[in-house]
Amino acid sequence: MTAQPTGHSAGAVDRAAGDVATSGSVPTPASAQDRGRQLAAEARQGSRRSLARLLTEVENRTRAAEAALRDLYPLAGTAHLVGVTGAPGAGKSTLVAALVAEARTGGRPVAVLAIDPSSPITGGAILGDRVRMQQHSGDRDVFIRSMASRGHVGGLAASSVAAAAVLDASGFPLVFIETVGTGQSEVEIASIADTTLVVQAPEMGDEVQAIKAGLLEVADLVAVTKGDRPGADRAASHLRGMLTVGAQHDRAAGDRPRPKRPEVMLVSGVSGKGVPELLAALDRRHAARGASSQSGSDAERARLARADAQLSGILAERLRQRLHDAAHLPATQATLRRIAAHEIDPYTAADELLRSLGE
């Protein structure tokens, strides 16, 4: 599973793998679709330049990206997608950099998708997660890509799932998806990652914070960072105490959705303390999930949730496109005006529009 996709011969490209000259000399593709498929083939052959360009297409949700994903999706699905989330400044980027370093000692290629928020006012963004990951910049088998959230709420960008699939299919068996700094309830990451790692800094609240619903509930693992600081071990044991309480209910719950029972680990991204143990715990989870593919398992549920999230997103977008295409735009605008004027309720309007699309 960790093998690079070598020996794969995509008909469209015969260039040797490498980063060199994938732009200037590329023959002009006949269409956006061809360009996307070519980028996909080159990315799989190891061209980092083409991989980067493809991720741009994915972010922009172009036709080229769609064509590429049609080719790549069947080839993805083996990588371990680890969601890393937590409050701003909790130490997510530093911890990810340390986990990447640890994974590299074992020789595994690693990719990182680091998402930072876009301005709701100007659309601009500061993507600053690379600052903490500089140590990996000379390493060809570490691919770090920053993404702006571009108006998507929930801690990710709209195209994060697709971008992760591209990295998966391009030969990265381990992909970290670092969310924007989250508050208490940005839990979207849990529906797209295989494993959700919640990063918590010490001194971020008492035991009541630990029993609140939301982010900590979706954690498969909790990393208490800054483990070199005084008080960090106490924060870890508080969390451990409170999060295991949920485990008691767990057994009695029967068919109801059960709370998770996250392992709480104390780490220091700066000194590296606890990082090998954390990576080992992540790997154990991935191995266990691979083994439990039968229906009804947590792994199966997670995969279905991810499929649902992707499908819903695409359906919603397709629907929006149709409502805004030349044939439907006048009716859509008229309906919007009626809703705005409270002449019709939005539910009835939605039903009407859906019926008119079906005709």
Partner 1 sequence: MTNGTERPIKVLIAKPGLDGHDRGAKVLARGLRDEGFEVVYTGLRQTPEMVVSAALQEDVDVVGLSILSGAHMTLLPKICAGLREQGMDDVLVTAGGIIPDDDVAQLKEAGVSAVFGPGTTIRQVADYLRSNVKPRET
Residues that bind partner 1 in the complex, under the rule CB under 8 A: 19-25, 32, 35, 48-49, 52-53, 55-57, 59-63, 66, 118-119, 122-128, 130-131, 134, 137-138, 143-146, 148, 150, 317, 321
SS (H, E, C) 75-101: HCCCCEEEEEEECCCCCHHHHHHHHHH
Q: Looking at beta carbons only, is 19 or 207 nearer to partner 1?
A: 19
State the Cα torsion 68-71-75-79 to the nearest 10°: 20
Given a contact cutoff of 8 angstroms between Cβ atoms, the answer to whether 54 and 47 are in contact is no
Minimal distance in Å, beta carbon 49 to partner 1? Answer: 6
Q: Looking at beta carbons only, is 7 or 138 nearer to partner 1?
A: 138
211: number of CA atoms within 13 Å, CB side? 10
Minimal distance in Å, beta carbon 344 to partner 1? Answer: 28
Given a contact cutoff of 8 angstroms between Cβ atoms, the answer to whether 204 and 234 are in contact is no
* Complete edge-to-edge strand list for the sheet that includes strand 221-224: 142-148, 110-116, 174-178, 80-86, 195-200, 221-224, 263-266
Minimal distance in Å, beta carbon 123 to partner 1? Answer: 5
Report how far residue 265's alpha carbon sits from residue 282's, in angstroms, rounded to the nearest whole number. Answer: 11
Cα–Cα–Cα angle for 231, 245, 267, nearest 5°?
35
Minimal distance in Å, beta carbon 130 to partner 1? Answer: 5
Q: Looking at beta carbons only, is 124 or 358 nearer to partner 1?
A: 124
Q: Looking at beta carbons only, is 150 or 261 nearer to partner 1?
A: 150
Residues 6 or more apart whose Cβ sits within 8 Å of residue 99: 176, 275, 278, 279, 282
The DSSP bridge partners found for residue 110 are 142, 174
Report how far residue 283's alpha carbon sits from residue 157's, in angstroms, rounded to the nearest whole number. Answer: 26
Q: Looking at beta carbons only, is 59 or 263 nearer to partner 1?
A: 59
Q: Looking at beta carbons only, is 82 or 147 nearer to partner 1?
A: 147
Report how far residue 187's alpha carbon sits from residue 179's, in angstroms, rounded to the nearest whole number. Answer: 10
Minimal distance in Å, beta carbon 205 to partner 1? Answer: 30
Burial class (CB in 10 A: 0-12, 13-18, 19+), 353: middle
Q: Looking at beta carbons only, is 126 or 247 nearer to partner 1?
A: 126
Minimal distance in Å, beta carbon 133 to partner 1? Answer: 9
Minimal distance in Å, beta carbon 217 to partner 1? Answer: 32
Minimal distance in Å, beta carbon 146 to partner 1? Answer: 5
Write down the residue that tokens 């690079």 correspond to. Answer: 4
Q: Looking at beta carbons only, is 203 or 317 nearer to partner 1?
A: 317
